[in-house]
């Protein structure tokens, strides 16, 4: 691999080929180490987040921006689903993280509380309920309901609460859009929670 003389040492053609390939192997190994460290440190990649369209929390809205500042090379994909769908998509691996409106099964999920949102009754100003400072579910027994679709955990929570209060809610409209729900309520067609 070397041509030697008393004054110098020179690589043979085979030695130069060996050196070039050795340098490539070392460079590949260095790159491999950097990429593995990078993936372990989450420096690049993609994270998929499921969030219900009803998540109006300012705190949640700030999270993707803060995350992107800390990890600029990680792409964020945000999908809007109801809480039931989000839980199912986490289980099947379609999404990485989910924001849901109910308490998850902690034997299946790693979870933490992001915010506590109280349940509010939304009425039109013409509805007599709008004058009250507090409303019970039982007092809504004669009202028509504008609700989130069945794939939202809040849907079942409201129906169960109404049944426990002694009545079946009269659902006149279901949607996945909070804004549409409030606009329908504004026309005095029903109430929403």
Burial of 187 (0-12, 13-18, 19+ CB in 10 A): exposed
Cβ(147)–Cβ(158) under 8 Å? yes
Each of the 193 residues of the chain gets a pLDDT tens digit; together they read 555 666 666 767 766 766 675 676 566 555 655 655 555 566 678 888 888 776 555 556 677 777 778 788 888 888 888 778 888 888 888 888 887 776 667 777 777 676 666 788 999 999 999 998 889 999 999 999 999 888 887 888 899 999 999 999 999 999 988 889 999 999 999 999 9
Q: For the chain, give every domain's residue range.
A: 2-40, 45-98, 128-186
Find the largest Cα–Cα distance for the chain. Answer: 107
CATH class entry, domain 45-98? alpha beta
Report the DSSP pairing between strands 2-4 and 144-148. unpaired
Per-residue model confidence (pLDDT) at position 7: 64
Per-residue model confidence (pLDDT) at position 52: 77
Per-residue model confidence (pLDDT) at position 190: 93
Residue by residue, DSSP assigns 6-28 as SS-EEE-HHHHHHHHHHHHHHHH
Per-residue model confidence (pLDDT) at position 99: 79
């Amino acid at each position: 691999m070397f041509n030697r003389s008393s004054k110098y040492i020179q690589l043979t053609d085979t030695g130069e080929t060996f050196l070039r390939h050795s340098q490539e192997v070392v460079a590949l190994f260095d790159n491999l180490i950097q990429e593995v460290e990078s993936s372990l440190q989450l420096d690049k990649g993609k994270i998929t987040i499921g969030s219900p369209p009803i998540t109006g929390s300012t705190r949640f809205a700030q999270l993707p921006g803060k995350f992107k500042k800390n990890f600029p090379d990680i792409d964020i994909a945000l999908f809007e689903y109801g809480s039931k769908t989000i839980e199912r998509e986490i289980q099947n691996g379609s999404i990485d993280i989910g924001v849901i409106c109910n308490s998850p099964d902690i034997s299946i999920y790693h979870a933490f509380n992001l915010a506590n949102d109280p349940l509010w009754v939304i009425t039109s100003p013409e509805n007599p309920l709008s004058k009250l400072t507090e409303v019970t579910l039982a007092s809504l027994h004669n009202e028509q309901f504008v609700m989130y679709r069945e794939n939202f955990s809040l849907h079942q929570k409201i129906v169960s609460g109404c049944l426990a209060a002694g009545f079946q809610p009269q659902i006149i409209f279901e949607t996945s859009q909070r804004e549409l729900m409030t606009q329908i309520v504004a026309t005095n067609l029903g109430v929403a929670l």
